[in-house]
C-alpha cells in the first residue's frame, strides 16, 4: 500500500509527509555546518531519532535536510511502501521464469520489468529547479551550506549531489551519487571511483580530447535520490528505474548550458564541464568505512551555471562508521534486488548485508543445499555478480537459518565450521575505499561454509541432530504460562 501523498512531487513534499508522520524535527537555532551538524546528526541516528531540518545553518543561504533515510521506516516512506520487501516482491512477480539465469538474466529481467511498467522520464519545458539562475561571476557555491563532517576532512563537501553524465560516443546517460569536495566558489572535486560508470564516460572523453559535460542535482525527490545509489546494470537507465518505483514518470528538463537533462523538481542544479587531463588533490574525507580516505587526484568540475528553486532546501548526508543514515539506503538495495540476485544465482534462498559490514564487506546467504560443495559454488557465483564481486566475506548457511538473525548466524558460523576444511580463501576486486587491502582495488576474500556437511564432502561422522523441544510440550507450556506466575 502506497504511503499517503506518494509519489512525492519534490523534496519539500517528502519533508511535509515526514512532518505529518512525526518523523521530522525542525532545528530553529543557529547550527554550524562545520562539524556541529555532523555531531547532532550522528547522535540522532544512533538514538533512532527523526529526520532533521536545520533551518538556520551559520553558513550558506538555505536550510539543511538530513537523516531522511536513517531508519527502514523512513526509507519505506520514501519509496511509498509499508515494507521494503514489497518492491522486491513486485519485481519478482513481473520477472518471467523463462528468463536466462545469470547476469544476462538480470539485465533482461530488469528490462522486462521496465517495459511492463512503461515509465520513461518525461521532458518538460519549464521547471521549478530553474526559477532562480546564477551564471558567470554570480556562481558561488558558498550559497550552499556544504558540510565538513569530520575534523580531518579536507574541507567542505557536498555529500548528496546526483551526478549526471553521458557517454561521449553512445549518448548513454548515467546517474551516480559521488561526494563532491568544494575547491573554490565555482569548482568541485569529482570523487568517482574506479568501478563507476561516470569514470568510464570521463575516460572516453579524455581519450577523445573532449570536455565532459556534467550536471549535479541536489535535493531531488526521495525516489530519484535512492535510484542514484542503486547498483543497476550499466544499460538500465536510473530514471526508468525511478519511474517504476514511483509508479509515474519522472519529469526532466534540459539544462541551460550543458547538453544534459536533470529532474525538473530538484532544489539545486549545478552545470559545468571537466577539462581533459585536469586533476586536483581530493580528500581526505571521513567515509562510511569509519576511516579517512587518503588524498588522491580526481577530476575538477568547473561550475558555469547554478539554478535553484525559490527558497530551496539543501539535502546532505553524514558518513561515518555504522550505524549511520546510509543504513536505510543499504537495506533498500538489499531487499529490492533480492529477486534479481536470486534470478542470477537460483541457489539463494535469502541474503543479508549487515550494516556493520557497510553493505559490501560481508554477505550472509542461505541456500537449499543439494550436493557436495554447493556452498562454495554459491560463494564463487556471488564473487562474479556485478558489484557483489566486491564482497570480502561470505557466510553460507542452510535454508532453515534466518539470515537476518545475527545470533543464529553466529551460532552456525561458530559451531558448524571446521576451519581447516570449510574456509575458502581467494583474491579479487575490493571497494575503492577499502583501507585494509595491501594493494588498492584488490585483496583477500573469505567464504565460510556454515552449512550441514554431507558424507560426500568427506564428513563421515554423521551430522548430529539439533535439539528442539517437542511441539506438544511447547503447546502445553503456552497454555499454562500464566499459572507459573513468571
Query: Judging by beta carbons within 10 Å of its beta carbon (0-12, 13-18, 19+), is residue 62 exposed, middle or buried?
Result: buried
The residues, ordered by sequence, that sit 6+ positions from 11 with a Cβ below 8 Å of its Cβ are: 65, 219, 220, 221, 222, 265, 267, 313, 315
Question: Mutual orientation of helices 85-94 and 326-336 as an angle, nearest 10°?
Answer: 30
Q: How far apart are CA 228 and CA 168, in angstroms?
A: 20
Q: Which of 431, 427, 425, 422 is nearest to 397 (CA)?
A: 422
The CA radius of gyration of the chain, in Å to the nearest whole number, is 24
CA-CA-CA-CA torsion sign (73, 77, 82, 87): negative
Q: Is 449 a catalytic residue?
A: no
Q: Which of 229, 216, 316, 334 is nearest to 266 (CA)?
A: 216
Q: For residue 284, say if its preceding peptide bond is cis, omega within 30 degrees of 0.
A: yes
Choosing from 287, 352, 422, 431, the catalytic residue is: 287
Q: What are the b/e assignments for 332-360, b being 16+ CB within 10 Å?
A: bbbbbbbbbbbbbbebbbbbbbbbebbbb
The grid coordinates of residue 352 equal: 543479508
How far, in Å, are 40, 188, 270, 334, 357 from residue 135 at the CA level? 34, 16, 10, 41, 43
Is-contact 188 301, C-beta < 8 A?
Answer: yes
The residues, ordered by sequence, that sit 6+ positions from 71 with a Cβ below 8 Å of its Cβ are: 48, 327, 328
User: Would you give the DSSP letter of residue 211?
Assistant: -
Q: What are the catalytic residues?
A: 287
Amino acid at each position: 500500500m502506497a504511503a499517503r501523498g506518494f509519489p512525492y512531487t519534490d523534496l519539500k513534499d517528502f519533508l511535509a509527509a515526514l512532518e505529518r508522520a512525526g518523523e521530522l524535527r525542525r532545528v530553529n537555532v543557529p547550527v554550524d555546518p562545520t562539524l556541529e551538524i555532523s555531531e547532532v546528526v550522528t547522535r540522532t541516528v544512533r538514538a533512532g531519532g527523526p529526520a532533521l531540518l536545520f533551518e538556520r545553518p551559520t553558513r550558506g543561504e538555505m536550510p539543511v535536510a538530513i537523516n531522511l533515510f536513517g531508519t527502514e521506516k523512513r526509507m519505506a516512506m520514501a519509496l511509498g511502501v509499508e515494507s521494503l520487501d514489497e518492491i522486491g516482491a513486485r519485481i519478482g512477480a513481473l520477472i518471467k521464469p523463462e528468463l536466462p539465469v545469470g547476469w544476462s538474466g538480470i539485465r533482461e529481467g530488469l528490462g522486462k520489468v521496465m517495459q511492463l511498467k512503461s515509465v520513461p522520464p518525461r521532458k518538460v519545458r519549464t521547471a521549478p529547479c530553474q526559477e532562480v539562475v546564477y551564471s558567470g561571476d554570480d556562481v558561488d557555491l558558498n550559497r550552499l551550506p556544504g558540510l565538513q563532517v569530520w575534523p580531518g576532512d579536507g574541507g567542505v563537501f557536498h555529500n548528496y549531489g546526483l551526478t549526471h553524465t553521458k557517454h561521449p560516443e553512445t549518448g548513454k546517460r548515467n546517474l551516480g551519487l559521488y561526494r563532491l569536495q568544494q575547491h573554490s566558489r565555482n569548482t568541485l572535486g569529482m570523487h568517482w571511483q574506479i568501478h563507476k560508470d561516470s569514470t568510464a564516460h570521463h575516460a572516453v572523453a579524455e581519450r577523445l580530447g573532449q570536455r565532459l559535460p556534467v550536471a549535479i542535482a541536489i535535493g531531488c525527490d526521495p525516489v530519484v535520490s535512492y535510484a542514484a545509489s542503486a547498483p543497476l546494470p550499466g544499460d538500465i537507465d536510473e530514471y526508468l528505474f525511478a519511474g517504476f518505483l514511483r509508479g509515474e514518470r519522472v519529469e526532466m528538463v534540459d539544462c541551460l548550458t550543458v547538453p544534459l537533462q536533470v529532474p525538473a523538481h530538484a532544489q539545486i542544479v549545478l552545470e559545468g564541464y571537466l577539462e581533459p587531463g585536469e586533476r586536483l588533490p581530493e580528500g581526505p574525507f571521513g567515509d562510511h568505512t569509519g576511516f579517512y580516505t587518503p588524498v588522491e587526484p580526481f577530476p575538477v568540475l568547473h561550475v558555469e551555471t547554478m539554478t535553484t528553486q525559490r527558497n530551496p532546501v539543501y539535502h546532505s548526508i553524514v558518513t561515518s562508521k555504522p550505524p549511520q543514515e546510509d543504513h536505510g539506503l543499504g537495506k533498500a538495495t538489499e531487499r529490492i534486488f533480492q529477486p534479481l540476485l536470486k534470478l542470477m544465482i537460483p541457489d539463494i534462498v535469502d541474503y543479508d548485508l549487515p550494516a556493520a559490514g557497510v553493505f559490501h564487506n560481508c554477505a550472509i546467504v542461505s541456500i537449499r543445499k543439494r550436493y557436495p560443495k554447493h556452498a562454495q559454488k554459491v560463494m564463487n557465483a556471488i564473487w562474479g555478480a556485478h558489484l557483489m564481486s566486491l564482497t570480502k566475506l561470505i557466510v553460507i548457511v542452510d535454508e532453515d537459518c534466518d539470515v537476518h538473525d545475527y545470533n543464529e548466524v553466529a551460532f552456525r558460523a561458530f559451531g558448524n565450521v571446521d576451519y581447516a576444511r570449510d574456509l575458502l580463501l581467494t583474491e579479487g576486486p575490493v571497494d575503492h575505499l577499502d583501507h585494509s587491502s595491501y594493494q588498492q582495488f584488490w585483496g583477500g576474500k573469505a567464504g565460510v561454509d556454515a552449512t550441514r556437511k554431507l558424507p560426500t564432502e568427506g564428513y563421515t561422522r554423521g551430522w548430529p541432530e539439533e535439539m528442539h523441544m517437542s511441539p506438544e510440550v511447547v503447546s502445553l507450556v503456552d497454555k499454562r504460562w500464566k499459572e507459573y506466575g513468571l
